[in-house]
Amino acid sequence: MPAVDKLLLEEALQDSPQTRSLLSVFEEDAGTLTDYTNQLLQAMQRVYGAQNEMCLATQQLSKQLLAYEKQNFALGKGDEEVISTLHYFSKVVDELNVLHTELAKQLADTMVLPIIQFREKDLTEVSTLKDLFGLASNETPLFLEHDLSMAKYSRLPKKKENEKVKTDVVKEVAAARRKQHLSSLQYYCALNALQYRKRVAMMEPMIGFAHGQINFFKKGAEMFSQSMDSFLSSVADMVQSIQVELEAEAEKMRVSQQELLSVEESVYAPDFDVAAPQINRNLIQKAGYLNLRNKTGLVTTTWERLYFFTQGGNLMCQPRGAVAGGLIQDLDNCSVMAVDCEDRRYCFQITTPNGKSGIILQAESRKENEEWICAINNISRQIYLTDNPEAVAIKLNQTALQAVTPIMSFGKKPESSCPSQNLRNAETEDDKIVSQVAVRADDADELIAPGTPIQFDIVLPATEFLDQNRGSRRINPFGETEDETFPEAEDSLLQQMFVVRFLGSMAVKTDNTTEVIYEAMRQVLAARAIHNIFRTTESHLMVTSQTLRLIDPQTQVTRANFELTSITQFAAHQENKRLVGFVVRTPESTGGQSLSTYVFESNSEGEKICYAINLGKEIIAVQKDPEALAQLMLSIPLTNDGKYVLLNDQPDDNDGSPNENRGAESEA
């Protein structure tokens, strides 16, 4: 090792300027060493702090690896391999944490502590001796004491020497020089020793650092043996396989994205297929955005765009940002139909089973509108409760499509046994001829004009309620009135009640044949199937010897009234025996007459209603002939109050002729 520069102790007593100059070099070196030592200590403390942080970090990392299993990921299916791998890594990190903790302790003992001791012991000692040397050699009281002693010694006289004074002055000078010499020697020795100690102090901490790291890596190598290598290899293979799957999935998504973006711009339009939309009428569940109509005042409304979906038999709504949806409407036994609302397109209304108007919704396209209507109708019929709801929905809609297909013949029985043929002899003969001829599809246009609108309900006009409040008699297109306006009901020889459901009515072109009634039945039922209108309201059909009235069973208000003389044709369907219809001739203000066919479904057989209507017409025909009236009264049993006993309105499994029914009536 090269020689170390040092101060000569022999020159400490003389304290020459050359010695002082060399001393300043050593002092400058000591000051530089002090600054460097402080910086080096900060760096080593930072390393030690980083090692401590590594201990805490690895400890926290181990806990987080174990916490993965407890996260309850919503899409955590198939994470078993990841969880087991992370558990193993957690154990490895714990073992590494032990090594890091041991390394941190070694760094504190062999690296940081020696440099601190060097700074606190050696550098502090040099600094203290420097202060003492300065007191003895600079402008201080000790230095002034030496100068005063030398001044006294210099003023001693040559001739008159006083031995005692001289001795005292010499002793004083010697004492001052001794103090200065002692402080100089100590200071010089400390500076000379510092040159050696600084080299030791710089290398010793790094030796401790190197030994600590080597020990750490050695123990790590021993700890992570060949088993760890195989484990890391298997994990690397698993990560590689996942990466391959990711690349394949990314490629699929890229191709799919290109295909989705290669479509025409028209698909982004809300109603791009308005001309010929592909409508699925077999849906048993539906979801999508709809506009909900909300009333904000007496005449003001707002529309809110919300996400709707069906769940079981319920219509649910989920606003944006909501965690789950809420119930909007129970769809069981509800009805739905398209409506016009505030000049908006594609609106439909859901009506509750009790007939009250429910919510009004708006779809964004014709396709969405019709699919929502079909889905709600399928759900309202509780198809979703069946074993195979999709198959049931398909079958029902196929039935609806078949209903609108033109048929070549109704396959009816000969109408000679139907009471409706007894209206007029001439008309009866014509009807027999017509009933024996199969009805062709193009003959339907001769009975009913194509595109004739169908009315599915007899609705009380709004003016009726105003008329009721004024107490005046009401006038409406159906001739509705209250029962008390028909005093003939009490004196009528015939009074029979039937429970019926109005299916629809439509204008017809002729009343010369009962075929017009069957064609009207077919079109009404087909229209109900196409538009998914299956809800009907029960009413009471009262047949008297003068009128035929449709009465609301709850309010007892007459909803429609028809004079028997205005009914020109009536018939019951021969296959579906509960269907019955009649043609009404109504005079118009222009002087002409209009013909309308009304179709009903009865709880009992339609033939019974036809029999009652025919009997009422016979009573009207014989009222002016007392003998004929007497014969009619003898042929039909009467009640105690003198009224005719007719068939009851209960369902009858007997599909016999009217004559058989009359026999059953008389026995009743």
- 213 plus 250 within the same structural domain: no
Write the CB contacts of 444 (distance below 8 Å, at least 6 apart in sequence): 406, 519
Stated as kind and residue range, the H or E segment containing 549 is: strand 547-551
* Interval 231-258 mean pLDDT: 90
pLDDT of residue 210: 93
- 58 plus 205 within the same structural domain: yes
Instruction: Evaluate whether 511 touches 505 at the Cβ level (below 8 Å).
Output: no
- 564 plus 520 within the same structural domain: yes
- 128 plus 241 within the same structural domain: no
Q: Is the pLDDT of residue 39 over 90?
A: yes
Q: Is the pLDDT of residue 46 over 90?
A: yes
Structure tokens at 506: 């439509």
**Is position 355 within any domain?**
yes
Range of the domain at 244: 231-258
* 477: Cα separation from own chain's centroid: 49
How far apart are alpha carbons 103 and 590 in whole angstroms?
Answer: 113
Rounded to the nearest 10 degrees, what angle do helices 163-223 and 124-137 cross at?
A: 170
Cα distance between the two ends of the chain: 141
Asked which of 228-237, 304-313, 470-479 is least confident by mean pLDDT, the reply is 470-479
- 338 plus 452 within the same structural domain: no
How far apart are alpha carbons 479 and 549 in whole angstroms?
Answer: 10
Alpha carbon separation from 59 to 56, 66, 97, 228 (Å, rounded): 5, 11, 6, 20
**Is position 537 within any domain?**
yes
pLDDT of residue 419: 41
Greater pLDDT, 371 or 276: 371
**Is position 409 within any domain?**
no
Amino acid at 638: L
- 247 plus 319 within the same structural domain: no
Structure tokens at 495: 């009074």
How far apart are alpha carbons 664 and 668 in whole angstroms?
Answer: 6
- 213 plus 77 within the same structural domain: yes
- 65 plus 208 within the same structural domain: yes
Instruction: Evaluate whether 296 touches 314 at the Cβ level (below 8 Å).
Output: no
Residue range 457-475, pLDDT digits in tens: 774 433 333 344 444 444 4
**Is position 189 within any domain?**
no
* Interval 213-242 mean pLDDT: 84
What b/e readout covers 311-334, taking b as 16+ CB neighbours within 10 angstroms?
eebbbbbbeeeeeebeebbbbeeb
pLDDT of residue 582: 95
- 555 plus 628 within the same structural domain: yes
Write the CB contacts of 328 (distance below 8 Å, at least 6 apart in sequence): 308, 314, 315, 316, 317, 359
- 292 plus 382 within the same structural domain: yes
- Please report, for the domain that includes residue 598, its CATH number: 2.30.29.30
Write the CB contacts of 561 (distance below 8 Å, at least 6 apart in sequence): 478, 479, 480, 481, 486, 547, 548, 549, 550
How far apart are alpha carbons 156 and 153 in whole angstroms?
Answer: 6
How far apart are alpha carbons 478 and 562 in whole angstroms?
Answer: 8
